[in-house]
Homo-oligomer: A and B are copies of this chain.
Amino acid sequence: MTPKVRNGLLRLIPDDELSRVMDVCEQVRLAPRQVLHHYMLPMEHVYFVESGLVSVAAKVGREKFVEVWLIGSEGLVGAPVILAARGVPLHRRTVQLTGDAWRIRTAEFCELLESLPHLRSVVERYLAVVLAQTSQSGACNSYHSLKQRLARWLLIAQNATGEDEVSLTHGVLAELLGVRRASVTECLEVLQRDGTVVTRRGSVKIQDAAELSKLSCDCFRLIEREYRRHLLPALDTGSRQRSPVSLLAPVGTGEPALVGREPKRPSG
């Protein structure tokens, strides 16, 4: 019997593998502010998120953390364990929005990865998305305005949770974005005036996602596209992606395209 799962990654693996995974899962509740992985402490479990939102943050000063990626029901908290890097995370993973998750002891999960090729493939591809998300938001942080970044964050959160409303205070949002609480307040006001969001005490609701998307930088769309590119072909069985298991298929087109120096560069 395979329990119903909502987690986007678990839904990508075939039933036989899924039931093997579920056998060692336990369901847990994610409570806001709960720290799933402390900075530099062993990761006891990994979590397939069913609902809610978990943020991963890097340390940038004494007790100061900035978010570097986000995990919702499409993701796995602790994915980097597949990189032989398990045991001690560089980041702190904190529940931001209440939800549920399936939890597996890290060691057991790693064993499963050895014997369940689809699971491994899915997690690998998810990790590619994590890398994309992290690097894109990192770059974004240094280039785009707070308004754009806030819009991006809200859209990513919407994507990750499937909910239009995030129950977070301005203060928490500020922490996640690495800015002042007052800046968030001001910025949300602007967004609200634009009609893209509605704020209530302790929550922000996306009113007009399309418009919000216009206000945000492209980074959101790039990240979303990466997610689709890596994790939807398994459903489409389409495009260039071969079976999720085999890692042997040739790649690309074999075109000449042998690197070339750029002659001048227009602006820079």
Residues in A lying within 8 Å of B, measured CB to CB:
31-36, 38, 41-44, 56-61, 63-69, 80-88, 90-91, 106-107, 110-111, 113-114, 121, 124-125, 127-128, 130-132, 134-144, 171-172, 175, 177-179, 217-219, 222, 226, 229-230, 240-241, 244, 247-255, 257-262, 265-268
Contact = CB atoms under 8 A, between A and B. Distances in A.
A266 to B, nearest CB: 8
Contacts of A138: 58, 68, 134-135, 137-139, 141
Contact of A61 (B67, B143, B250, B258): B143
17 contacts: A34-B260, A41-B257, A42-B252, A42-B257, A44-B254, A58-B135, A59-B222, A60-B217, A61-B143, A63-B266, A64-B143, A85-B128, A86-B251, A106-B252, A131-B131, A139-B141, A171-B268
A131 B42 contact: no
Contact of A178 (B34, B143, B247, B267): B143
A247 B110 contact: yes
Given A87-B251, A134-B134, A142-B178, 13 more contacts: A33-B265, A34-B261, A35-B262, A42-B252, A42-B255, A58-B139, A60-B139, A83-B125, A84-B244, A85-B125, A87-B252, A90-B136, A143-B178
If over half of A's interface residues share one DSSP class (helix, strand or loop), that class is named, otherwise mixed; here it is: mixed
Given A128-B80, A128-B84, A248 B114 contact: yes
A258 to B, nearest CB: 8
B135 A229 contact: no
Contact of A253 (B33, B42, B82): B42
A230 B85 contact: yes
B58 A136 contact: yes
